[in-house]
Structure 1
Amino acid sequence: MYISSLRIRNFRNFLSASFEFKKGVNTILGENGSGKTNALFALRLLLDESLPRNITKLRDSDFCRNLGDWKGHWIVISVDFDELSAHEGCQMLKHDAGHMDGSEKGTLTYYFRPCLKIRQALFEASGNAALAQQLIDEISIEDYEPVFSGRANADFLCDHTYRDLVGDFQNFVFPDPDDKDFKAYGVKLSPLHEEVSFTFVKALRDVVSDLKNYRNSPLIALLKGLESEISDKDSKNITTLVSDINNAISELDEIKQVSRGIQKTLHKTVGYTFSPTIDIESSLPSELDKLLQKLSLTVGDNYVDGYSGDLNELSLGGANLIYVALKLLEYERKQEADKAAQFLVIEEPEAHIHTHIQKTLFENHAINKTQVFLSTHSTHISSVAKISEMNILGLNENHVDVFQPSNNLNPADCSRIERYLNATRSTLLFAKGVILVEGEAELILIPALVKKALGLSLDELGISLISMDSAFFEHISNLFHPERIRKHCAIITDLDTSTEPLPDDEAGDNKYQKSCRNSQKSGLLRKDKLDEHTKDNDFISAFYANYTFEVDFVGADNSIELKEVLPSIYQQQADIAKSIGLLENGAVEIYGKEILRLADKVGKGWLSLLTSEKVTSQTYVPHYILDAIAFSCGRKLAPQIRYKMCCYRLSNPMPVMNDKDKAIQFFAENHVDINACIDEFEKQCPDDDLSYLIGQLDR
């Protein structure tokens, strides 16, 4: 048996979310604050017996803030099971949660809802907006109850179903709680903790204190019950030894002297009549179960034979590894029990653990028969995870969406994507937007260009720039789709239009013209394929350099940056002067041929690196790159970000500026109304690159 899906309604930062799971390892990826911990906690609420029993009584802060007013609403968390077989361990679970349709599927649901009295009152007030609103306003968290049910088949993520079964809060219409639709709500039952084995390995923070804490230490959990496995003879010998030690310590003269001193002081203070009798005795527990709980870990170093010291002497990463090892041993012990299923949940194993160990930990459990749920924001773990086993959390303006990146992709497509997703490229799984580029030239120069021209890095804009090391974008861009990752992916590539004038009849081409014509044909073919690939998908779009990245960069009036690079390429002043003359020529057949010759001479990547060192706030950004940035942001940038870029532009030299002093003065006098400042910037600097970018964004 395994969990096939998790559905969450109104819980913490999930207004409505659905996770899809497979057998084996399942990875939940997401940026910080996207809800990875909340998703795992939702699983734990349903299945983790180690949680306190009163944990199911939630607080008002557990309601999703996107609800607005939480009062009267329900929190609903459901897990769907599959392959509930006739195996003995599954029978009770199938009896309580299994659907009565002959399938091997089942559902366990947790409701946090208003109690019957409140639901009855809301039903009776249906249609009376004033009375219903008054009842809702008076609801407190104490009016709520936690309920578990099995076999529910209602989809509470559907707004229509939610209105029917919970209530229509706009029209103040609420269902009759006496109409018990068992098929929809399920049959009330007790928690099913005993039917499954559930091991949770929390995010690794201050592990040393947990290892030493009696309540939290996984070592204590492993030692519980161990006394029953120790022979009577060994148990008796240990008890005798402890008793002898207690007696020996208690009878020491030094201990007796302290005891007599305390007694004497008491007599002097309150007299003989009111003084209690004092003695000091060693009280090591002689009961074996209590004695075992006093055991503690000591640690040594692989490089120092025979030494073993306190946990505090160990590095944080080493302590984390020990903690993980203890939890995994606890999990292995639980496997011995005949349960319906084994679940291992690991939260962010990357914290303080070396890259190689992250991959080893993941790959070792990927082959285990137990179903594993692992949350992470590690690019190293995500690079070895299968996209068919991923759920990706996307955070957008306080709204969390859940994506399944392999939806409706065939295994061959998934395999190709997984081969591309190394630790560098897998950052696209965490980004708010993605730009795919052909190679290292764009990868080096575009980030520098954006930072110098706009004052913010691509990372600050939430954009991952990914080099494909080729022009084959279709495989990776397939991830971005309404059915998969609903984030925007821009593709930047070249049309490779010939900079050399070509004869009407290609039969007349010389060798160089033939090469240019072939590149131009390839560019047009690539455009046709990409246009076809993106035409019905609002989450992908391609943006083209008319010629090539280098030619269009110079063509955007950036020859000065290339001229400053020439001394790093040539030693002879005559060679530098000749190249400058060609780069300053306004004809693309002249400057285009020269920049391509320089790129061929030193390599595109090296030329981009040299050029990136010369980029300033006065460098122009080719418009097709600004178009790609706007698209990858979903045509949305917060006003604060736009304002920050405007301030940066005004405080640095700009290539285009009308009445600069007037714009700066306006900004100085309008600290509060940042939208007015942005509008003024566009008005005063209509031809600036930033104004162009803002114009491509949604208002």
Structure 2
Amino acid sequence: MSETQPQLQHLLLKHHFPERHKMYISRIVVRNYRNFAHLDVQLQDGVTCIIGENNTGKSNLLRAIRLAIDANMSSQYRQLLEHDIHSDTELTKPNQVVVSVEFSDYAGKVNEEALLGDCQVEPNLARINYRYRPRLAIREEIEHEEFDDRPLSIIDDYHFEVTAGGDKDPGDVEWNEDLGKSIRFGDLQSFKVVFLPALRDVAQSLKQSYDSPLGQLLKASNFSEDEKHSLFEVIKSANEEIEKQPTIESLGQGIKKAFNDATGKAHKIDLRLGMSDPSFSSITRSLNVLFSNSAMDNFEVSRNGLGLNNLLYISMLLQGLEKRVEADKTAGQLLLFEEPEAHLHPQLQRVLYTLMEKKICQVLLTTHSTHISSHAPIESFITLSNDGSVATSGVVPKHASKLSEKETGDLNRYLDATRSTFLYSRKVLLVEGPAELFLIPILVKQLMGIDLDSHGIAVVPIFGKHFHTYAKLFGEHAIRKKCAIICDGDLKLEDIPEDTEEDDLIELLSHTIQEDDYLQIFQCPVTFERAITIPENLLMFLRTIKECGHTIRLRNFRKGIRTLCDKNTEKDTYNDTLSYLRELVLKSADDYGKARFAQTASKHVRLAKKMPSYIEHAINWLCEE
């Protein structure tokens, strides 16, 4: 980390952004746009994290929102092309694209009520709609059965419209039904939408210009007339001193003589070398952000790394938005932020997220960073997933999974940077602990020839047996991605004995898991370490125990293997010896540390010859398309 980074980090966190209880976007409906056939999600105030694997439409969702409410988005981008239409939507026949954005918590706020007065659909609930559907003339021809049944042209026969309000729900409205009344984009100017794309050149954007964050900050700052006059006098005096310097004065006289010699007496002009008379705007345009550290003073942002400049850019942007709020010049603000983690190491990612939590404006961000998702509460997630179909589904896990407050709190504690990886994978394998995490992927590759990463399968240890909480996240009406649970113990409803006492039954039911097409449980009656210690894999554990340095245990393990290999060994002795070897493996893992023992065993996985059937079944189910 450079010396400048902790200084900036301290200033960012020290700066107090007062909480503003402004209106916020509470619901988004998207129909037939790009990879969304039908998306309907609820949002909370503050920061919302849009997460999911690649190609699930995170950027498309931000663009859809802009279609409806970004007054600065060019109209040419609102005229859709064929690739903007969901592949199952046939626009050669009458159809539509719908993007609807609902706002809440604006009642009693003057600017917000002025913006949304015509958009209200219920008390304290307003709606703005973008639609792409057949033009009015085409709709009337179809309604009066005067249309000649020719294929419709997406360019010539369709147009976009932006409307306010509407009695019908945007999730159900038909293409030939009206939804609210027409509004102009000029009516939306007081609602500021800021979009930061994933590929951004912030070093260039930080240079002083009218549209830069610094330019906007200066514009929003209230300089008094005395301050302006004082700045003018300081610069004017400095200019006069510069012009008096002998070298400057001599150069000026030389240029004047050369010019007048070239033009002749008829065009004689007085000329000097100096700076033009200052104005307040010219002074502020000359200002730049300068850094200093122990090695260098007053250097420009171009000398910084990309990460630090990204952090500086967003901090100045948020301060500019804060000044708009303080000056009461806004009816609402929305920051759409793609991949804020770009060029930032994990600590600065968390700093940036904390900065955005200050509620200066509502923030919708897309991210692939487990450091951000582990820092954000699960209530703030919108998870996008694609289960193999063309359409992407999106849910807010807390609502879709019907999580209790206790379960929500538990997940917020559990979802660290390791466990939150399942949010970005195509499929999930939940396991108990580090032994499974280290050994299963490499065993699967060695014995089944399957690379879990290539199949988009994340192995996620929950470090316990509380699978029921995680399991509620997956399902037809929750996160639609396959999740297999590998465990020992009884998690299925049918595993509960019929004669269980009532009090025990209530406790057991709270930990059972209902299986469906997206969630399956693969159980073993013994622990993973015992299950994997089968005759075909004993050589792997022999090498592991040897490397761990357990001399006596190694001697006993070898003796046990010889007993198993002896054809004269009786069945009971064979079974007792195998149980003894399993206990030796478990004892070694406990003494050495299960994670370290599993890591050591993974180096000798080439000696393993057989996968426990319950793990094999889980992998095969996950790999089914």
| Alignment pair present for 1:66 and 2:87 | yes
| Alignment pair present for 1:148 and 2:170 | no
* 1:563-607, Cα deviation, whole Å (9 max, x unpaired): 433432444785453032256577443213212223213434444
Residue number among 483, 492, 497 corresponding to 1:489 in the alignment: 483
Residue number among 131, 135, 142 corresponding to 1:115 in the alignment: 135
Q: Residue 359 of structure 2 aligns to which amino acid in structure 1? A: N
Q: Residue 443 of structure 2 aligns to which amino acid in structure 1? A: L
In 1, the alpha carbon distance for the partners of 2:194 and 2:105 equals 21
| Alignment pair present for 1:7 and 2:21 | no
**How far did residue 453 of structure 1 move?**
3.1
Question: Match for residue 576 of structure 2?
Answer: 589
Distance 1:235 1:3, change over 3 A: same
Question: Match for residue 493 of structure 2?
Answer: none
In 2, the alpha carbon distance for the partners of 1:405 and 1:415 equals 13
CA contact (8 A) 1:224 1:289 kept: no
1:360 aligned counterpart, secondary structure: helix
| Alignment pair present for 1:623 and 2:602 | no
Distance 1:256 1:419, change over 3 A: same
In 2, the alpha carbon distance for the partners of 1:545 and 1:386 equals 33
Distance 1:82 1:576, change over 3 A: closer
Q: Residue 521 of structure 2 aligns to which amino acid in structure 1? A: A
Question: Match for residue 219 of structure 1?
Answer: 214
Alignment map for 1:13-24 (pairs within 5 Å): 13-24=35-46
Tell me how many residue pairs correspond in the alignment.
Answer: 571
Residue number among 588, 593, 597 corresponding to 1:601 in the alignment: 588
| Alignment pair present for 1:417 and 2:437 | no
In 2, the alpha carbon distance for the partners of 1:61 and 1:214 equals 37
Which structure has more relative contact order (CA 8 Å, sep 6+)? It is 2
Question: Match for residue 344 of structure 2?
Answer: 353
Question: Match for residue 331 of structure 1?
Answer: 321
Q: Residue 428 of structure 2 aligns to which amino acid in structure 1? A: V
Residue number among 214, 230, 236 corresponding to 1:234 in the alignment: 230
Q: Residue 579 of structure 1 aligns to which amino acid in structure 2? A: G
**How far did residue 406 of structure 1 move?**
0.8
* 1:62-89, Cα deviation, whole Å (9 max, x unpaired): 6134246555643321111223313322
Question: Match for residue 97 of structure 2?
Answer: 75
The worse-fitting range, judged by mean Cα deviation, of 554-563 and 25-34 is 554-563
**How far did residue 108 of structure 1 move?**
0.8
Question: Match for residue 514 of structure 2?
Answer: 535
Question: Match for residue 668 of structure 1?
Answer: none
CA contact (8 A) 1:239 1:287 kept: no
In 1, the alpha carbon distance for the partners of 2:87 and 2:344 equals 35
Question: Match for residue 687 of structure 1?
Answer: none
In 1, the alpha carbon distance for the partners of 2:395 and 2:134 equals 31
Alignment map for 1:270-349 (pairs within 5 Å): 286-301=278-293, 303-304=294-295, 307-338=297-328, 339-349=330-340
CA contact (8 A) 2:387 2:480 kept: no
Question: Match for residue 378 of structure 2?
Answer: 387
| Alignment pair present for 1:580 and 2:570 | no
Distance 1:611 1:579, change over 3 A: farther
Alignment map for 1:167-246 (pairs within 5 Å): 175=176, 184-191=178-185, 192-203=187-198, 205-212=200-207, 214=209, 217-224=212-219, 229-231=224-226, 233-234=229-230, 236-237=232-233, 240-241=236-237, 244=240
2:512 aligned counterpart, secondary structure: helix
TM-score of the pair, normalised by structure 1:
0.72
CA contact (8 A) 1:563 1:580 kept: no
In 2, the alpha carbon distance for the partners of 1:278 and 1:154 equals 74
The worse-fitting range, judged by mean Cα deviation, of 333-342 and 75-84 is 333-342
CA contact (8 A) 1:495 1:544 kept: yes
* 1:246-302, Cα deviation, whole Å (9 max, x unpaired): 9779985546756887999999xxxx99x9x9999767573322442232222222x
In 2, the alpha carbon distance for the partners of 1:266 and 1:622 equals 97
Question: Match for residue 105 of structure 1?
Answer: 125
In 2, the alpha carbon distance for the partners of 1:205 and 1:491 equals 40
Distance 1:582 1:222, change over 3 A: farther
In 1, the alpha carbon distance for the partners of 2:142 and 2:215 equals 49
1:399 aligned counterpart, secondary structure: coil
Question: Match for residue 75 of structure 2?
Answer: 54
Distance 1:142 1:588, change over 3 A: farther
Q: Residue 163 of structure 2 aligns to which amino acid in structure 1? A: S
* 1:419-472, Cα deviation, whole Å (9 max, x unpaired): 211121111222211111122221111011123234443222211212222222
**How far did residue 409 of structure 1 move?**
1.9
Distance 1:83 1:309, change over 3 A: closer
Question: Match for residue 431 of structure 1?
Answer: 425
| Alignment pair present for 1:374 and 2:368 | no
In 2, the alpha carbon distance for the partners of 1:118 and 1:255 equals 72
**Identity, % of aligned pairs?**
27
Structure 1 unmatched ranges of 5 or more: 167-174, 176-180, 497-520, 637-699
Q: Residue 43 of structure 1 aligns to which amino acid in structure 2? A: I
CA contact (8 A) 1:25 1:366 kept: yes
Q: Residue 58 of structure 1 aligns to which amino acid in structure 2? A: Q
In 1, the alpha carbon distance for the partners of 2:155 and 2:291 equals 47
TM-score of the pair, normalised by structure 2:
0.80
In 1, the alpha carbon distance for the partners of 2:235 and 2:58 equals 48
**How far did residue 381 of structure 1 move?**
1.7
CA contact (8 A) 2:291 2:301 kept: yes
Question: Match for residue 557 of structure 1?
Answer: 536
Question: Match for residue 16 of structure 2?
Answer: none
| Alignment pair present for 1:444 and 2:438 | yes
In 2, the alpha carbon distance for the partners of 1:627 and 1:280 equals 88
2:61 aligned counterpart, secondary structure: helix
In 2, the alpha carbon distance for the partners of 1:221 and 1:61 equals 37
CA contact (8 A) 1:211 1:323 kept: yes
CA contact (8 A) 2:530 2:586 kept: no
CA contact (8 A) 1:570 1:576 kept: no
CA contact (8 A) 2:533 2:585 kept: no
Q: Residue 25 of structure 1 aligns to which amino acid in structure 2? A: V
CA contact (8 A) 1:393 1:401 kept: yes
Question: Match for residue 671 of structure 1?
Answer: none
